[in-house]
Amino acid sequence: MMRFVLILFFVTSPILCFAQQDFHKLQDSYRNLSLKNKLLSSSVLLPDLEIFISQTTNNVEKVAALQIMAEIYLEYDSYFEAIQALDNAEQLAKKLDNTTKASVLLSQAKLSLALEKFNDALDQVNKSIEATKNSNKLIYVKSLILKGRLFYYKGSFRQSIKQFSQVKALVSNDTSYFNLASIYSAQIALELGDKQQAKRVLEGIELSTLELLSEDKQLEYQLILTRLSMHSGYFKTAISQSKKLLNYTLGTRFLYLQAQLQDILSKAYLQANDYQQAFLYLQRYTLTTNALALKKRNNKLLQLEIIHNLARKQQRIVLLEKESLLSKAKLAKQAFEKQQLQREQEIQFRKWLLLSILAIIISMVLYYLWQRDKVFKRLEALVKTRTQELETKNALLEKLSNTDSLTGLYNRHYLHASIESELSHVRRKFDQGQGEQHLIVMLLDIDHFKNINDTYGHTAGDTVLQQLSKTLKNNIRESDLLVRWGGEEFLIILRDCKLNQTEDFAEKLRKNIEKNIITINGNADKKIPLTCSMGYSHYPFNTQQPEQYNWENVIELADMALYAAKENQRNAWVGFTYKQTPHSPEKVISDINTAITNQEISVSSNIIKEIKFK
C-alpha cells in the first residue's frame, strides 16, 4: 500500500504543478507517460487540464488541452466525456486556423474509430486530409495513417496497403511515420498470407529508429514479428515472444493487443502440439474477446443512448418548436381575436358614437325644431297677439282715423275714403237707366253752438255734440251714413232715397232735434234747447249726366243750402234739386242765385219767407 502511495506521489508530483507550467511542457509530459503509468496517472491530469482550460486565453492551447482530455477519457472508455471534450474543441476550433480544425477532426476520427463508427471516422479523416493536404504535412501524414488503419479495421486490406504506400512515399525512411506505415503494411501482408512481403517490409525499418515510435506502437511491431514467427513455423519463438509481450501488457487496457497475443499463443501451442496450453490460451482469448465484445456492446449502447438522447432532444426541440408554433399561433389567434374584438368594439363604439351623435343631432334637431316650433308658436302666438293687437290697434286706429272720438261718428276722413264706391254704385245705376234712388247729401249745423260753449262750457258743448249725435243716429236708417263733418257740423248721407222723401225727412229731423232738449250731466236744471240748420243736395245732381256734378260739387251745393238755411232762419232746412241748366257746375255754384232764379235748380225749404242766397 505504502509502495503504491509512493509510486503515485512520484508519478503525480511533477504533474500537479502543470497548471502553472507552459502548456507544451504539460503536453510533453502527457506524451512521455509510459504505457503503465498512463493509466495510473493520466486521470490525475484531468483537473489540471480543466484549470488550464478555464484560465488560458489561448484558444489553440485550449483546443489542444481538450484533445488531451478526450484522449485520457478514451483510455478510460469514458466515451461520453470524450465526445463532449471534442465537441467543445470543435466549437472553439471553428474560429481558429485550418491546422487546429484538422487536428480536432483527427481526434474526432480516432474517437469515432474507437466507437466503430467507421463511416463517421472516414468522413472526419477525409476532411482532415483535405484541410491539410497543402498546408500541414504532419497532420496530413497522421491523417493518412489513421485512414489506413481505418481501412484495416474495416477489413479492406487492399485500401489500407495503398494508404500506407502513400505515406511511405511521402516521408523519409528514418521517421516514425515511415516505421509506422511499414509496421501496418507488414501486418496486412500477414493477413493476406504473404509472409515474405511482411518480412521484406519489416526489414526496411531501421532498427535504430524504432525508438522514435511510442511504446504501444513498438508493442505492435513486436506483435507482428511474433505472428511472422508463427507463420514461418517457429512456434516456440512465437510462444516465447508472445508471452513476453503479454506479460508486459498485463495490467494495461490494451485488450485488443492482448487478445491478438492470446490468439497467437493458442494457435502456436496448437501447432506445437501442446493442446493443453493451446486450450488455455484459447480460453483466455475467448475471455478477452468477450470483454472486447462487451466493450463494443457498451460502445454501441452508448451510441444508442447518445442517439436516443439526441433523438429525444430533437423530439423535445420539435415538440417545443411545435408548442412554440402552437402558442405563437394561439397568441396570434388571440391577438387576432383581440384585434377583431377591438375592431368590433371600435366598430360598435363608432356605431354607438355615430348613433349617439345621430341621436344627439336628431334630439338637437328635434329640440331645435321643438324649440323653433315653440318659438314659432310663441312667435306665432305673439304675432297673432300682436297681429290681434295690431288689428285691434289698427281697427282702433282705423276707427280712430275714421271716427270722431267725441261722438263716435265717422269723420270726414272716413267719408272721403268710402264715398267713392257709393258714388260709383249710384252712378252706375243711373247710367244703366235704373236710377230712381239718389244719395241725399245733407249738411247739418248746430245753431248757436258758440253760445252753448260760451254759456255752458266746452264740456257741455261736447255733451251737446254727443247727444245730438245720438239723436241723429236715431233718426236715420242703419244703411244711412252719419259723419261729423267738423266742429258742430254733421253730414248725413241717405242711401237709396227718393228726392220727394227728402223734405219729409229733413222736417222730421229738424223737429226731432228741436224736441230733444239736451241735459247736462243728467241735471234737469241744465237743459239746453237745441236747433240745427240743414242744407242738402243730391247725387247724382244731374241724373241725365251723373258725372257732370262731382261729389265736391254736391257737397258745395249742400253747404250753400245750409248756409242759406242759417242765414235766412235757423232751425230750418234748405235743399237744392236739379232741374235743368246749360251751365257748368262751377258756373251754377258760383252763381246760385241765377240758377235758382232761372229755375235751373229748384229749392225746397221749411222757410216760408223768401230765401236769400249768397
Partner 1 sequence: MISLKINFCIIYIFLLFPNLVLAESIKAAVLKDENFQQRYQQVLGNLSPLEIEDFTPNSDGSHLEIIEMIILQQALHLGGLKEPIVFEPHDMANLGEIAPIVDGTILMFGRSMWLQTSVDYQGSLYISEPVIKYGEFEAGLYYNIANTDLKSVEIDALSQLKIVANPRWLADWRALLNSPMAMVNFIGPWENMLAMLDANIVDVMLVNFSVSNDLNMTFKGKQYQPINNLKVVLPDSRHFVVSKRHPRGKEVFEALQKGLTIMRKLGKIRKLYEQAGVINSKVKDWDIINKQMLVL
Which residues contact partner 1 by CB under 8 A? 118-119, 154-159, 162, 190-193, 195, 227, 230-235, 263-264, 267, 270-271, 273, 275, 278, 282
Determine contact, residues 475/512, Cβ cutoff 8 Å. yes
Shortest distance, CB of residue 159 to partner 1, whole angstroms? 6
User: Among residues 144 and 282, whose Cβ is nearest to partner 1?
Assistant: 282
User: Among residues 157 and 456, whose Cβ is nearest to partner 1?
Assistant: 157
Shortest distance, CB of residue 58 to partner 1, whole angstroms? 40
User: Among residues 141 and 282, whose Cβ is nearest to partner 1?
Assistant: 282
Shortest distance, CB of residue 79 to partner 1, whole angstroms? 19
Shortest distance, CB of residue 156 to partner 1, whole angstroms? 5
User: Among residues 62 and 195, whose Cβ is nearest to partner 1?
Assistant: 195
Shortest distance, CB of residue 278 to partner 1, whole angstroms? 8
DSSP helix, strand, coil percent of the chain (3-state; round to 5): 75, 10, 20
Helix (H) or strand (E) holding 578: strand 573-578
Distance CA 411, CA 481 (A): 11
Shortest distance, CB of residue 221 to partner 1, whole angstroms? 18
- List of residues 6+ apart from 599 with CB closer than 8 A: 579
Distance CA 399, CA 465 (A): 19
Shortest distance, CB of residue 158 to partner 1, whole angstroms? 5
Shortest distance, CB of residue 90 to partner 1, whole angstroms? 24
User: Among residues 11 and 259, whose Cβ is nearest to partner 1?
Assistant: 259
Shortest distance, CB of residue 87 to partner 1, whole angstroms? 24
Shortest distance, CB of residue 242 to partner 1, whole angstroms? 12
Distance CA 612, CA 614 (A): 7
- Return phi, psi of residue 78, to 5°: -90, 75
Cell numbers standing for residue 173: 525512411
User: Among residues 96 and 302, whose Cβ is nearest to partner 1?
Assistant: 302
- HSE toward the beta carbon, residue 213, CA cutoff 13 A: 24
User: Among residues 298 and 459, whose Cβ is nearest to partner 1?
Assistant: 298
Determine contact, residues 536/576, Cβ cutoff 8 Å. yes
Distance CA 465, CA 311 (A): 138
User: Among residues 154 and 583, whose Cβ is nearest to partner 1?
Assistant: 154
Distance CA 343, CA 330 (A): 19
> Hey, which residues does 491 pair with through a beta bridge?
443, 483
Cell numbers standing for residue 230: 508463427
Shortest distance, CB of residue 78 to partner 1, whole angstroms? 24
Shortest distance, CB of residue 259 to partner 1, whole angstroms? 13
**Measuring CA to CA, which residue among 55, 62, 73, 48 is closest to residue 103?**
62
Angle at CA of residue 354, ends 349 and 358, nearest 5°? 145
Say what the alpha-carbon torsion angle 250, 254, 255, 260 is, to the nearest 10 degrees.
-90
Shortest distance, CB of residue 273 to partner 1, whole angstroms? 6
- β-pairing, 489-497 vs 481-486, is antiparallel
User: Among residues 212 and 270, whose Cβ is nearest to partner 1?
Assistant: 270
User: Among residues 270 and 528, whose Cβ is nearest to partner 1?
Assistant: 270
Taking the CB of residue 207, how many other CB atoms lie within 10 A of it? 8
User: Among residues 37 and 271, whose Cβ is nearest to partner 1?
Assistant: 271
Determine contact, residues 443/490, Cβ cutoff 8 Å. yes
Cell numbers standing for residue 450: 258758440
User: Among residues 191 and 600, whose Cβ is nearest to partner 1?
Assistant: 191
Determine contact, residues 226/241, Cβ cutoff 8 Å. yes
Residue 158 burial (CB < 10 Å; 0-12/13-18/19+)?
Answer: exposed
Helix (H) or strand (E) holding 497: strand 489-497
Helix (H) or strand (E) holding 34: none
DSSP 602-613: EEEES--SPPP-
Residue 498 vs residues 31, 207, 502, 505, 541: alpha-carbon distances, Å: 172, 189, 7, 11, 13
User: Among residues 66 and 189, whose Cβ is nearest to partner 1?
Assistant: 189
Shortest distance, CB of residue 167 to partner 1, whole angstroms? 16
> Hey, which residues does 492 pair with through a beta bridge?
442, 482
User: Among residues 275 and 368, whose Cβ is nearest to partner 1?
Assistant: 275
